[in-house]
């Protein structure tokens, strides 16, 4: 498959770029909500506008009221979200939760998908139980209780957790904490008794929460997929999140790079534009090549996910690791080439570094995915 967009995808990219550039701009969204200490970290009006554009239901099948598109198209929107640092629950809701709800019962889909598509609902995904990403270990317990289950445990750094109308929770219904089998996914509504939140503001001003589940009682209809067989669905959700985070990271890298190149063309030092210094030209050229290679890896991972390929999970980690390095380089070079003012809040370049730091940890950092690639490759 060619690693570039089709004509229809290019049209979507143009639409997303225009919308995010106008409605999701840094001054209009990120700085606005950050400076007001918004408890959600994003604007619900923008989320509603994204629904009107059709973005929120991109991955939802047409039979369920969505657009029935794929991860390539979702990645196009995420790249523009990253480029403009637009705060939104798109990744957790329209990508990860939507990937989980694809395996829900007809009742579950009917309950949750209309709100997602209309932009009336926000969703979160609760997997990790600790400071670092380690989805292989699920200690939160779900015990049989009548016709349903009782959930007990804790989840950490659940992005948009306190804002979510529903949280997809991975819990253990059988076996030891590190067992591959015995995991089940549940749809936990925000008003469930025993569900608690301790909200934290992340470095990029987005919101996450430490979620506690203190004997949360759920009906059997809350199960997503099969009891004890949720690892298969969970892995699909994880891969969707990894590739989605990579796509947003590409946007962050390209936004930072574009801003830096513009600065090199404007800033004068020693009587000439600093962009005329060959050393800086070399660094900018190297950065461009690294970002484009990472973008190609991300598009490949998106295509494999859409094709249902057995190699999709491996490529998802390749993309996440490659983007982690490229985006990290982009924001570092951006701040350095801006000089001292790059460290001030007045200039947006520092905001790109903060967003990169949050994305780098989300769904696993470079080292986690480099190790995972090695293990999946037989090393």
Query: Which of 306, 312, 379, 337 is CA-nearest to residue 59?
Result: 306
Q: Which residues contact 37 (CB under 8 A, 6 or more apart)?
A: none
* 342 and 334 Cβ atoms separated by less than 8 Å: yes
Element housing 73 (H / E): helix 71-83
CA 361 – CA 338 distance, rounded (Å):
25
State the CATH number of the domain containing residue 37.
Answer: 1.10.540.10
> 344: which DSSP letter?
S
State the CATH number of the domain containing residue 287.
Answer: 1.20.140.10
**How many angstroms separate the first and last alpha carbons of the chain?**
27
Same domain, 204 and 243: no
Same domain, 222 and 292: no
pLDDT of res. 2: 80
Q: What is the DSSP string of 141-153?
A: EEEEETTEEEEEE
Same domain, 342 and 358: yes
Same domain, 354 and 273: yes
pTM of the model: 0.96
Tell me, yes or no, whether 1 lies in a domain: no
Tell me, yes or no, whether 195 lies in a domain: yes
Domain boundary residue, one of 187, 206, 228: 228
pLDDT of res. 274: 85
pLDDT of res. 276: 85
Taken as a whole, the chain contains a residue count of: 379
Same domain, 236 and 372: yes
Domain boundary residue, one of 193, 228, 263: 228
Domain boundary residue, one of 98, 121, 144: 121
Same domain, 114 and 35: yes
* 124 and 167 Cβ atoms separated by less than 8 Å: yes
- Return the number of other C-beta atoms located less than 10 Å from residue 364's C-beta: 26
- For 273-281, the CB contacts below 8 A with 24+ separation are 274/337, 280/337
Same domain, 236 and 224: no
State the CATH number of the domain containing residue 199.
Answer: 2.40.110.10
State the total domains in the chain: 3
Same domain, 186 and 240: no
pLDDT of res. 3: 84
CA 95 – CA 207 distance, rounded (Å):
18
pLDDT of res. 34: 95
Block means of pLDDT (10 residues each) for the chain, 379 residues, are 88 98 97 95 97 98 97 98 98 98 96 98 98 96 96 98 98 95 97 97 97 97 95 97 99 97 90 89 96 98 97 98 98 94 92 97 97 96
- Angle, vertex CA 132, rays to CA 129 and CA 58, nearest 5: 80
pLDDT of res. 270: 84
Residue range of the domain that includes 258? 232-376
Structure tokens at 356: 């990169």
Tell me, yes or no, whether 92 lies in a domain: yes
Tell me, yes or no, whether 2 lies in a domain: no
């Amino acid at each position: 498959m060619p690693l570039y967009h089709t004509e229809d995808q290019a049209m979507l990219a143009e639409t997303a770029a225009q919308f995010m550039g106008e409605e999701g701009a840094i001054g209009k969204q990120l700085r606005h909500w950050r400076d007001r200490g918004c408890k959600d970290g994003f604007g619900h009006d923008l989320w509603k506008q994204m629904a009107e554009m059709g973005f929120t239901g991109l991955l939802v099948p047409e039979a369920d009221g969505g657009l029935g598109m794929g991860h390539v198209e979702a990645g196009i929107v995420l790249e523009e979200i990253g480029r403009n640092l637009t705060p939104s629950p798109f990744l957790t809701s329209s990508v990860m939760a939507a990937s989980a709800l694809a395996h829900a019962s007809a009742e579950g889909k009917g309950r949750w998908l209309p709100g997602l598509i209309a932009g009336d609902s926000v969703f979160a995904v609760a997997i990790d139980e600790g400071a670092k990403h380690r989805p292989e270990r699920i200690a939160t317990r779900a015990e049989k209780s009548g016709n349903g289950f009782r959930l007990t445990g804790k989840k950490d750094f659940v992005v948009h957790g306190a804002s979510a109308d529903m949280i997809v929770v991975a819990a253990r219904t059988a076996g030891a904490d590190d067992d591959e089998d015995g995991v089940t996914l549940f749809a936990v509504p925000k008003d469930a008794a025993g569900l608690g939140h301790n909200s934290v503001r992340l470095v990029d001003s987005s919101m996450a929460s430490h979620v506690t589940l203190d004997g949360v009682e759920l009906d059997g209809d809350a199960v997503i997929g099969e009891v004890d067989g949720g690892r298969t669905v969970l892995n699909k959700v994880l891969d969707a999140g990894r590739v989605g985070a990579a796509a947003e990271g590409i946007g962050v890298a390209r936004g930072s790079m574009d801003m830096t190149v513009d600065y090199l063309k404007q800033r004068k030092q020693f009587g000439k534009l600093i962009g005329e210094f060959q050393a800086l030209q070399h660094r900018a050229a190297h950065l461009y090549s690294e970002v484009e290679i990472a973008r190609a890896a991300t598009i490949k991972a998106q295509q494999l996910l859409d094709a249902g390929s057995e190699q999709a999970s491996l490529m998802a980690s390749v993309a996440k690791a490659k983007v982690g390095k490229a985006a990290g380089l982009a924001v570092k070079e951006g701040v350095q080439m801006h000089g001292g003012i790059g460290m001030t809040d007045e200039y947006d370049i520092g905001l790109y570094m903060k967003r990169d730091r949050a994305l780098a940890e989300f769904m696993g950092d470079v080292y986690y995915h480099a190790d995972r690639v090695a293990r999946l490759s037989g090393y």
